[in-house]
């Protein structure tokens, strides 16, 4: 018979091919450490670390793999389920609580004690982020980020505003203070009329004073509204980390949100629909559609990289509490419990968290290293590129930072609060609607 | 026709490879999902049996019902526009040209990955920087935030996917048109029948089995809309584009509530089986007018 | 000039307006289809950093071939970064070969086995045929995210991760689409030829290979083309099981041009250049075989 033979041959092809492909690369030998990260811009910096690490530890080989942000977490999750996750991986605060509570991460305390690794060498507070609810440490900080105000130098000049004035801005949720006055002044309609002049046509705005981030701010609004709300003295939770009661019902928060959506109604900020219609807020800034834009330090490369736009950066305004505010967040490296090379993995994590490696990262001027002396190097390197990062780092020195809210149920909270804030910003709901949402959020902890 | 016995054995032989793939890569995972829908599986911990709790939760989950509604709206727009346009293209190609250039051009969108198609249209349709809105402004129309408005987001996503699939669907229908004997058309030409009449009395009836298949396939595929939402609106603004598959994905892989997601999956599966059965019945897909 | 009764010239009356209208509509549809491709080309020929400032222009912003150089791995890290790329390196030709190979094997297996299954469902008579067919069809309704995880675990258990086999196997034996598609066409084939062959004493394999398959040439060609494109575009599954350097396929490799950071924009120019380059081989295939496909469709008169 002719066809069963054919079918049998066809069925054998993939198996034969499997043979050619050689042994699986995952897992690796017991002296190999696989390390994953998501940012290709940081890959050269960490490759430099790996090279230095290897020449000091010839018995341990480090293999770095990089996946874009969206793929990264799919791959990590699948890897954790199937037991093929990398030995060490860059971890994020959104995911770390879940992974830690499901025993997917190796507690580092014993290693830290054994090798007497100092956890107080990092910028203050950063190391605390990575201690889980069980009191154990699951990561050592590698870098940090804060939020500041990017501005278009030419638009500032055209409006007759001195760059130095941006450091004196104040804000309050009632009338927006000198900050709102500046935003209004920088807004220009199609006829060239400014937002604070009579005859301003808010339906035909050519340049918005302030850009609106295209991301759904979830429950945090990190680069959207957190710097205002936090500067009123408001806090996300009863305690941080591991709070169990959220404060979205606080009038201070709701007033802030009301003021924020008011900017849209006044025409000073694009509508939510426009912000979400396709391009990122930074591309809008690059296209000269926005004069100001609040964003995180991880976006410096984008904001300063546009042809035709000269960018500057200033700290966020001083709020009713008398202080500025920014979320303080960072990444860390964690070890996967399924690793077959715990000691090698720890050696690598220890090296990544060391001043030696972080200085190498600072040299590349792509992120802010967690260790101050490495940060100093980064500061110089950024300055050489024409970027003064004190707008970001000043917040740390001034104690104006607030830790990213770390709690259980973060994804559920995001899915509740995100759409609710959307509804307020698109005028479909009043800020007071957050009170009911807050009830639902707090119910998650009961 | 003489009915033969004993063809079951031969059928088994012919079904062997496909059946092997079906059981291993479709049926077995599906059964696992079905089992997990009765557990509290979180992906990273061993599952515990919770009975029908997940199903009970789903019934009172407002976001789940909203997701079904949004998906329904999407399917309705996507399928109606896509079928009409694809049928139009197929008939035009069949009656006008055998050019493989035209056919190749219409199939081009299908060569581009879903995710990239979504990204390209997302940038082209931006309210401030998109070229489509720039063109609208040139002819004096105010820019539209296609993806950003709650009212236009779902129709926009539906039409973007029509753009990607219309050539593909047209090709399937075209293959069906090719199977219609040319003699039928020649006879109609001699009778002097108009194009509209030819379409109504010849093309449509003879195309039915293929059209039925295309409809079943596209409707089921349409329900599984995911990529476009994931790279553009991510379910927003508010919950306007939180389609069912995206909601299931969020539950399973972002909130690690895999058991619940599995239950939603089973519900979706039952809905699709119902829809497919109804379609097959209505369209009598198993028989052809040619016999 | 000869005038007809209503005063219009004869050539005017000879124009078949139905056809003209048809061509206009078809032309419009082709235009809508092609415009986004022009836009992708325009972006791919632009400098990534200049794109935002030239959003409303129909021409490339700050024309450069840099994006294509990045994709083909020809530009240095510094050059790539200067144009807004990440500088991730790519072994384009190797990944291209991997894509060609896996897609070809998937297509060959899928088309053959699905056609065999379709024969059983369309031409053979046995009890429970319709029920079994419907069960096959339900495979369409299982969302891929729910089969991906168990299948990934299966590949790990078979020790096949990072092999061609892992990328190929789930699509090799069938897809519900392919079975359904072939069955619908085989239903339409007249029984007479088959009966005649059977009287001549031909067995089922012979009837299948010598009569049914040749008569289904047109749908087989269509299916082959679609199966190949689908396999070529597959992203998530090869990303899961085929990350190894030696088996990585093009779609996975080009993933580096997608968004790298949570809020960052992708390297637009690089992404578009990569997409166009990845589609090129399939377009070439279509152009090369397009004529043949058309011919075969014309010849395979199903009577």
Buried b / exposed e over A74-110, threshold 16 CB at 10 Å, is bbbbbbbbbebbbbbbbbbbbbbbbbbbeebbbbbee
Concatenated DSSP letters of B27-91: IHHHHHHHHHTTB---SSS---B-TTHHHHHHHT-HHHHHHHHHHHHHHHHHHHHHHHHHHHHHH
Close Cβ partners of C130 (under 8 Å, ≥ 6 residues apart): B286
Confidence of residue A198 (pLDDT cuts 50, 70, 90): very high
Stretch among A27-36, A76-85, A298-307, B245-254 having the lowest mean pLDDT: A27-36
Residue A356 and residue A363 in contact, taking contact as beta carbons nearer than 8 Å: no
* Same domain assignment for residues A423 and A391: no
Buried b / exposed e over C109-124, threshold 16 CB at 10 Å, is bbbbbbbbbbbbbbbb
| Strand residue runs (E) in A8-111 | 32-37, 61-66, 88-91
Question: Considering only residues 58 to 77 of chain B, which have any Cβ-Cβ distance to chain C shorter than 8 Å?
Answer: none
Place of tokens 């220890």: A350
> Closest Cα of chain C to B150: distance in Å?
22
In a domain? residue A89? yes
Buried b / exposed e over C171-209, threshold 16 CB at 10 Å, is bbbbbbbbbbbbbbbbbbbeeeebeebbeeeeebbbbbb
Task: For B109-153, write each residue's pLDDT tens digit.
Answer: 988 888 889 989 999 999 999 999 999 999 999 999 999 999 999
* Same domain assignment for residues A308 and A348: no
Tokens of C189: 């084939």
Residue C106 and residue C231 in contact, taking contact as beta carbons nearer than 8 Å: yes
* Same domain assignment for residues A204 and A85: no
Task: For B174-200, write each residue's pLDDT tens digit.
Answer: 888 887 888 888 888 888 888 888 888
Task: For C192-251, write each residue's pLDDT tens digit.
Answer: 888 888 888 888 888 899 888 988 888 898 899 889 989 998 888 998 898 888 899 988
Q: Which residues of B touch C151 (CB under 8 A)?
A: 25, 29
Note whether B92 contacts C: Cβ–Cβ < 8 A: yes
* Same domain assignment for residues A396 and A415: no
Q: Are A274 and B43 a contacting pair at CB < 8 A?
A: no
Domains in chain C (CATH in brackets) are 37-88+268-302 (no CATH), 92-258 (1.10.3720.10)
Task: For residues C170 and C163, give the distance between their C-alpha atoms in angstroms, rounded to a whole number.
Answer: 13
Q: Considering its fold, how many domains does chain A have in total? A: 2
Task: For residues A278 and A282, give the distance between their C-alpha atoms in angstroms, rounded to a whole number.
Answer: 12
B122 by DSSP, 3-state: which? Answer: helix
Q: Which residues of B touch C126 (CB under 8 A)?
A: 7-8, 11
Q: Are C205 and A296 a contacting pair at CB < 8 A?
A: no
Quote the pLDDT of residue B174.
87
In a domain? residue A415? yes
Taking the CB of residue C210, how many other CB atoms lie within 10 A of it?
13
Note whether C191 contacts B: Cβ–Cβ < 8 A: yes
The hierarchical CATH code for the domain B55-283 is: 1.10.3720.10
B286 by DSSP, 3-state: which? Answer: coil
C interface mutation test: which of B1, B5, B11, B123 has the most C CBs within 10 A? Answer: B11
Quote the pLDDT of residue A146.
94
Note whether C15 contacts A: Cβ–Cβ < 8 A: no
A interface mutation test: which of B129, B231, B251, B258 has the most A CBs within 10 A? Answer: B129
Note whether B44 contacts C: Cβ–Cβ < 8 A: no
Q: Which residues of B touch C116 (CB under 8 A)?
A: 14-15, 17-18
Q: Are A98 and B256 a contacting pair at CB < 8 A?
A: yes
Task: For A203-215, write each residue's pLDDT tens digit.
Answer: 999 999 999 998 8
Close Cβ partners of A64 (under 8 Å, ≥ 6 residues apart): A35, A36, A37, A43, A46, A47, A50
> Closest Cα of chain B to A74: distance in Å?
8
Note whether A74 contacts C: Cβ–Cβ < 8 A: yes
Q: Length of chain A in residues, anyone?
A: 446
* Same domain assignment for residues A246 and A321: yes
Q: Which residues of C touch B280 (CB under 8 A)?
A: 134
Task: For C70-110, write each residue's pLDDT tens digit.
Answer: 888 777 767 776 666 665 667 788 899 999 999 999 999 99
Domains of chain B, by residue range, sit at: 55-283
Quote the pLDDT of residue C254.
80
Whether a cis peptide bond, with omega within 30° of 0, leads into C127 is: no
In a domain? residue A339? yes
Note whether A77 contacts C: Cβ–Cβ < 8 A: no
Task: For A134-156, write each residue's pLDDT tens digit.
Answer: 999 999 999 999 999 999 999 99
Note whether A265 contacts C: Cβ–Cβ < 8 A: no
> Closest Cα of chain C to A214: distance in Å?
9
> Closest Cα of chain C to B129: distance in Å?
5
* Same domain assignment for residues A150 and A136: no
* Same domain assignment for residues A302 and A352: no
Tell me the mean pLDDT in the region C37-52. 90
Q: Which residues of B touch A278 (CB under 8 A)?
A: 122-127, 129-130, 146-148, 232
Task: For residues B46 and B38, give the distance between their C-alpha atoms in angstroms, rounded to a whole number.
Answer: 13
| A17, pLDDT greater than 90 | no
- CATH number at A41 reads 3.40.190.10
Task: For residues B98 and B240, give the distance between their C-alpha atoms in angstroms, rounded to a whole number.
Answer: 42
Task: List the end-to-end C-alpha distance of chain A, in Å, as a whole number.
Answer: 68
Q: What residue of A is the nearest CA neighbor of B14? A: A4
Quote the pLDDT of residue A322.
93
Q: State the residue range of the domain holding A199.
A: 146-327+404-444
Note whether C16 contacts B: Cβ–Cβ < 8 A: no
Task: For A61-72, write each residue's pLDDT tens digit.
Answer: 999 988 888 789
Concatenated DSSP letters of A394-419: HHHHTT-EEE----TTHHHHHHHHHH
* Same domain assignment for residues A413 and A373: no
In a domain? residue A18? no
A interface mutation test: which of B66, B122, B230, B238 has the most A CBs within 10 A? Answer: B238
Beta pairing partners, A105: A336
Q: Which residues of B touch A70 (CB under 8 A)?
A: 230
In a domain? residue A21? no
Question: Considering only residues 125 to 164 of chain B, which have any Cβ-Cβ distance to chain C shorter than 8 Å?
Answer: 126, 128-131, 134, 163
**Which one is predicted more confidently, A71 or A369?**
A369
Q: Are A411 and B250 a contacting pair at CB < 8 A?
A: yes
Quote the pLDDT of residue B290.
44
Task: For A423-434, write each residue's pLDDT tens digit.
Answer: 999 999 999 999
Task: For B261-278, write each residue's pLDDT tens digit.
Answer: 999 999 999 999 999 989
Place of tokens 């198609």: B117
- Whole-number average pLDDT of chain A: 89
Close Cβ partners of C46 (under 8 Å, ≥ 6 residues apart): C54, C60, C61, C62, C63, C64, C67, C268, C269
B234 by DSSP, 3-state: which? Answer: coil
Q: How far is CA B282 from the centre of its chain?
A: 18
* Helix%, strand%, coil% for chain A, nearest 5: 45, 15, 40
Residue A26 and residue C161 in contact, taking contact as beta carbons nearer than 8 Å: yes
Beta pairing partners, A402: A327
Whole-prediction pTM value? 0.89
Closest to B92 in 3D by CA, of C22, A391, A261, C178: C22
Quote the pLDDT of residue A368.
94
Note whether C112 contacts A: Cβ–Cβ < 8 A: yes
Q: Which residues of C touch A215 (CB under 8 A)?
A: 263
* Same domain assignment for residues A243 and A109: no
Beta pairing partners, A143: A331, A369
Question: Considering only residues 339 to 378 of chain A, which have any Cβ-Cβ distance to chain B shorter than 8 Å?
Answer: none
* Same domain assignment for residues A289 and A351: no
Q: What residue of A is the nearest CA neighbor of C153? A: A82
Total CB pairs under 8 A between chain A and C:
165
* Same domain assignment for residues A268 and A409: yes
* Same domain assignment for residues A304 and A345: no
Confidence of residue B2 (pLDDT cuts 50, 70, 90): very low
DSSP 8-state assignment for residue A170 = B
Quote the pLDDT of residue A23.
37
Stretch among A174-183, A389-398, C13-22, C111-120 having the lowest mean pLDDT: C13-22
Tell me the mean pLDDT in the region A43-60. 92
Note whether A289 contacts B: Cβ–Cβ < 8 A: yes
Q: Given the DSSP bridges, would you call strands A147-152 and A290-296 parallel, antiparallel or unpaired?
A: antiparallel
In a domain? residue A9? no
* List of chains touching C (3+ CB pairs within 8 A): A, B
Task: For residues C164 and A434, give the distance between their C-alpha atoms in angstroms, rounded to a whole number.
Answer: 52
Whether a cis peptide bond, with omega within 30° of 0, leads into B237 is: yes
């Amino acid at each position: 018979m002719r066809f069963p033979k054919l079918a049998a041959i066809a069925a054998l092809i993939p198996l034969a091919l499997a043979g050619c492909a050689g042994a699986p690369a995952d897992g690796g030998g017991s002296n190999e450490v696989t390390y994953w990260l998501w940012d290709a811009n940081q890959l050269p910096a960490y490759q430099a670390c790996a090279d230095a690490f290897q020449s000091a530890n010839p018995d341990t080989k480090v293999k770095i793999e990089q996946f874009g942000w969206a793929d990264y977490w799919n791959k990590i999750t699948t890897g954790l389920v199937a037991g093929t996750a990398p030995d060490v991986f860059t971890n994020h605060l959104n995911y770390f609580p879940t992974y830690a509570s499901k025993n997917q991460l190796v507690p580092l305390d014993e290693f830290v004690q054994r090798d007497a690794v100092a956890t107080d060498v990092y910028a203050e507070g950063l190391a605390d982020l990575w201690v889980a609810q069980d009191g154990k440490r699951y990561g050592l900080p590698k870098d940090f980020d804060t939020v500041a105000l990017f501005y278009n130098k030419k638009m500032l000049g055209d409006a007759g505003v001195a760059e130095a004035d941006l450091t004196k801005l104040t804000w309050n949720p009632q009338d927006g203070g000198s900050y709102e006055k500046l935003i209004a002044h920088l807004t220009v309609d199609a006829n060239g009329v400014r937002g604070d002049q009579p005859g301003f046509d808010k339906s035909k705005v050519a340049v918005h004073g302030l850009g609106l981030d295209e991301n759904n701010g979830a429950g945090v609004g990190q680069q959207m509204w957190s710097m205002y709300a936090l500067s009123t003295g408001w806090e996300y939770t009863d305690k941080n980390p591991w709070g169990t009661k959220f404060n979205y019902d606080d009038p201070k928060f709701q007033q802030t949100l009301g003021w924020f959506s008011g900017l849209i109604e006044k025409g000073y900020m694009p509508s939510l629909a426009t912000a979400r219609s396709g391009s990122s807020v930074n591309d809008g800034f690059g296209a000269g559609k926005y004069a100001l834009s609040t964003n995180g330090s991880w976006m410096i490369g984008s904001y300063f990289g546009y042809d035709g736009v000269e960018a500057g950066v200033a700290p966020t305004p001083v709020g009713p509490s008398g202080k500025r505010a920014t979320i303080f967040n960072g990444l860390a490296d964690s070890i996967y419990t399924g690793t077959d090379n715990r000691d090698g993995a720890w050696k690598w994590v220890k090296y990544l968290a060391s001043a030696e490696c972080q200085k190498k990262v600072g040299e590349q001027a792509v992120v802010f290293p967690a260790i101050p002396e490495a940060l100093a190097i980064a500061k110089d390197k950024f300055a050489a590129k024409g970027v003064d990062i004190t707008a970001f780092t000043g917040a740390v020195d001034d104690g104006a930072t607030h830790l990213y809210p770390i709690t259980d149920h973060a994804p559920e909270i995001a899915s509740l609060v995100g759409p609710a804030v959307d509804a307020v910003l698109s005028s479909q709901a009043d800020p007071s609607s957050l009170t009911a949402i807050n009830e639902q959020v707090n119910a998650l902890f009961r | 026709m003489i009915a033969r016995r004993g063809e079951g054995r031969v059928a088994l032989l012919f079904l062997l490879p496909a059946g092997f793939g079906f059981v291993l890569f479709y049926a077995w995972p599906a059964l696992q999902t079905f089992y997990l829908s009765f557990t509290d599986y979180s992906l990273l911990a061993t599952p515990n049996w919770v009975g029908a709790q997940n199903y009970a939760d789903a019934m009172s989950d407002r976001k789940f019902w909203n997701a079904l509604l949004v998906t329904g709206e999407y399917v309705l727009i996507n399928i109606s526009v896509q079928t009409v346009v694809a049928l139009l293209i197929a008939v035009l190609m069949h009656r006008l040209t055998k050019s493989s250039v035209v056919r190749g051009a219409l199939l081009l969108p299908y060569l581009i990955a879903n995710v990239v198609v979504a990204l390209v249209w997302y940038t082209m349709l931006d309210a401030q920087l998109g070229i489509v809105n720039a063109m609208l402004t040139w002819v004096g129309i105010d820019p539209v935030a296609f993806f950003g408005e709650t009212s236009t987001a779902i129709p926009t996503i539906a039409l973007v996917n029509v753009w990607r699939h219309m050539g593909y669907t047209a090709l399937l229908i075209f293959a069906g048109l090719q199977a219609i004997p040319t003699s039928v058309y020649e006879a109609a030409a001699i009778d002097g029948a108009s194009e509209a009449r030819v379409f109504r009395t010849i093309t449509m009836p003879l195309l039915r089995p293929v059209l039925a298949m295309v409809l079943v396939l596209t409707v089921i595929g349409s329900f599984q809309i995911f990529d476009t939402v994931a790279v553009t609106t991510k379910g927003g603004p508010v919950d306007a584009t939180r389609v069912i598959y995206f909601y299931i994905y969020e539950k399973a892989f972002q909130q690690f509530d895999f058991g619940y997601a599995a239950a939603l999956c089973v519900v979706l599966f039952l809905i699709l089986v119902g829809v497919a059965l109804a379609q097959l019945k209505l369209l009598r897909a198993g028989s052809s007018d040619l016999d | 000039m000869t005038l007809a009764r209503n005063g219009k010239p004869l050539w005017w009356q000879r124009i078949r307006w139905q056809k003209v209208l048809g061509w206009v509509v078809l032309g419009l549809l082709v235009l809508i289809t092609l415009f986004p491709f022009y836009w992708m080309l325009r972006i791919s020929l632009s400098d990534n950093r200049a794109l935002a400032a030239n959003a409303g222009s129909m021409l490339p912003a700050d024309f450069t071939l840099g994006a294509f150089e990045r994709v083909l791995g020809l530009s240095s890290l510094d050059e790539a970064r200067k144009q807004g790329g990440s500088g991730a390196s790519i072994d384009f030709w190797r990944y291209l070969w991997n894509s060609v190979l896996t897609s070809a094997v998937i297509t060959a297996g899928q088309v053959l086995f699905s056609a065999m299954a379709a024969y059983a469902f369309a031409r053979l008579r046995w009890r429970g045929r319709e029920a079994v067919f419907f069960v096959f069809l339900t495979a369409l309704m299982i969302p891929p995210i729910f089969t991906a995880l168990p299948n990934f675990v299966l590949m790990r258990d078979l020790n096949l991760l990072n092999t061609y086999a892992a990328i190929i196997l789930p699509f090799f034996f069938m897809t519900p689409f392919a079975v359904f598609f072939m069955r619908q066409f085989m239903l339409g084939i007249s029984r007479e030829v088959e009966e005649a062959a059977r009287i001549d004493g031909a067995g089922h394999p012979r009837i299948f290979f010598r009569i049914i398959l040749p008569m289904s040439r047109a749908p087989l060609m269509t299916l082959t083309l679609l199966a190949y494109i689908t396999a070529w575009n597959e992203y998530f599954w090869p990303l899961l099981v085929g990350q190894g350097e030696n088996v990585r396929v093009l779609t996975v490799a080009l993933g580096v041009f997608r968004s790298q950071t949570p809020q960052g924009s992708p390297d637009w120019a690089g992404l578009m250049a990569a997409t166009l380059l990845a589609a090129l081989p399939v377009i070439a295939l279509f152009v090369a075989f397009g004529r043949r496909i058309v011919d075969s469709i014309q010849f395979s008169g199903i009577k």
